[in-house]
C-alpha cells in the first residue's frame, strides 16, 4: 500500500483520514506519496564515526574530511570550526541525521554500510 500525503503541507496522512493532522486541510483520496519520496539514497559512511570525529576533532574539520568535503574541512581547519559556530551546528546536524556527504547524501547508518548488503 502506498502512503498518502497532504497536498498543502506535504506531511504523511494516516490511512482513512479525511483531514491532515498537521495543517488541517482536507485530503483527497488520490493524493498518493510519490515513489521518489519514499526511498532516499543515503551515504554509506558511518554516522557514528563522523559524529565522534566532530565531537573530538570538529574544530579541525576531521569529520568534513571524512565525508569528502575537503574544501569546507580546510575552512574548518583554518577558522577553528568556523569560530565554534559551525562546529556546534555540525554536531547538531550529525546527531539529528541531517548531515550530508560530498555527494549530498545523508549520513543515516550508525556503522559503515558494506557493499555486500
Residue 72 CB neighbours (<10 A) = 16
Q: Does one domain contain both 46 and 21?
A: no
Tell me, what's the pLDDT at 48?
93
Tell me, what's the pLDDT at 1?
41
Residue 17 predicted with pLDDT over 90:
no
Residue 60 CB neighbours (<10 A) = 17
Residue 114 predicted with pLDDT over 70:
no
Q: Does one domain contain both 74 and 104?
A: yes
Residue 116 predicted with pLDDT over 50:
no
Q: In terms of residues, how long is the chain? A: 117
Tell me, what's the pLDDT at 52?
95
Q: Which DSSP letter does residue 9 get?
A: T
C-alpha cell at 34: 510519490
Q: What is the average per-residue pLDDT within 54-66?
A: 94
Dihedral (Cα; 85, 88, 92, 98), 10-degree rounding? 60
Q: Does one domain contain both 51 and 102?
A: yes
Q: Does one domain contain both 64 and 77?
A: yes
Q: What is the average per-residue pLDDT within 10-20?
A: 74
Q: Does one domain contain both 112 and 73?
A: yes
Q: Is 71 helix (H, G, I), strand (E, B) or coil?
A: helix
Split at pLDDT 50, 70, 90, the class of 47 is very high
For residue 49, the enclosing domain spans 41-117
How many domains does the chain divide into? 2
Tell me, what's the pLDDT at 60?
94
Angle CA(9)–CA(13)–CA(16) in degrees, nearest 5?
140
Q: Tell me how far apart the alpha carbons of residues 19 and 13 are, in angstroms, rounded to a whole number.
A: 8
Amino acid at each position: 500500500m502506498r502512503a498518502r500525503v497532504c497536498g498543502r503541507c506535504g506531511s504523511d496522512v494516516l490511512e482513512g483520514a479525511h483531514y491532515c493532522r498537521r495543517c488541517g486541510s482536507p485530503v483527497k483520496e488520490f493524493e498518493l506519496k510519490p515513489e521518489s519520496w519514499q526511498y532516499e539514497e543515503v551515504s554509506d559512511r558511518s554516522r557514528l564515526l563522523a559524529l565522534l570525529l566532530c565531537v573530538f576533532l570538529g574544530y579541525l574539520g576531521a569529520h568534513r574530511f571524512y565525508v569528502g568535503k575537503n574544501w569546507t574541512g580546510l575552512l574548518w581547519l583554518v577558522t577553528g570550526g568556523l569560530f565554534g559556530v559551525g562546529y556546534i551546528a555540525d554536531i547538531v546536524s550529525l546527531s539529528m541525521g541531517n548531515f550530508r556527504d560530498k555527494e549530498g547524501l545523508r549520513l543515516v547508518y550508525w556503522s559503515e554500510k558494506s557493499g555486500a548488503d
